[in-house]
Amino acid sequence: MSTKKFVFDLDGTLYRASAEIEKLVDKAVVSFFKNKLQIDENKAVELIKSLRERYYYDADALGNEYPFSKQEFLEYICDVDVSSLPQDKELNDLLRKLPNDKYIITDSTKKHVTDVLSQIKVDKDLFKNIFDGHDMHYSFKCTGKGFAKFLQKYGLSASECIVFEDNGDNLRAAKKLGFITIGIGNKINAEDVAFCDYLYKDIKEALLSVMAIFCD
């Protein structure tokens, strides 16, 4: 079974979900709209609140309601300070022991992946490829289209890939496409747990178990 490909989400999966990072991304979204529309902070906050009632992703509003580049938006909101994340040498060692091909699939950007990996001290060269929000053409993971584009790009079938992911909507989409799904962390709701083949409290616990199940 060492031919299985390991496909990792980044945020909340390769490191524990960080309220601090999420807050910085939210702040960047506000500041993007504030600058682009030349409105004050309160107006921008109100606007984003209303957009989020209509769109799952802030980026979706750009195509429909605002003529701003999704590429520029994603780069801007993902360019956040990640220096609060703890180093995780143990994770690096565990990943290095895995003979399987490893990929990262993220709705964010390659720059953000590079920033995070370098901060947590996980070597980027452990991963065969990084597939980001731009590669998905902004049809992110929860729609299933992001995962489908990933399979297409690397010529893989879903059943040979194990997805590690902390987001319930993304796990559901991956399972529907035929991926083996590993839920990470505690924010997956009961309904979405049904779409997880396995569930672990964090990535290291998951890797230790999965190595025993899927590696020779």
Q: Whose Cβ is closer to Mg ion: residue 34's or residue 141's?
A: 141
Binding site for Mg ion (CB under 5 A): 9, 11-12, 166-167
Q: C-beta of 184: minimal distance to Mg ion in Å? A: 8
Q: Whose Cβ is closer to Mg ion: residue 12's or residue 133's?
A: 12
Closest residue (Cβ) to Mg ion? 12
Q: C-beta of 25: minimal distance to Mg ion in Å? A: 12
Whole-Å CA distances, 215 to 53, 84, 99, 115, 200: 44, 33, 8, 30, 18
Backbone angles phi, psi at 166, to 5 degrees: -100, -5
Q: Whose Cβ is closer to Mg ion: residue 33's or residue 169's?
A: 169
Cβ contact 150:163 at 8 Å:
no
Cβ contact 169:192 at 8 Å:
yes
Q: C-beta of 4: minimal distance to Mg ion in Å? A: 21
Three-point CA angle 194, 199, 200, nearest 5°: 160
Q: Whose Cβ is closer to Mg ion: residue 18's or residue 92's?
A: 18
Other Cβ atoms within 10 Å of 91 Cβ, number: 19
Q: C-beta of 71: minimal distance to Mg ion in Å? A: 21
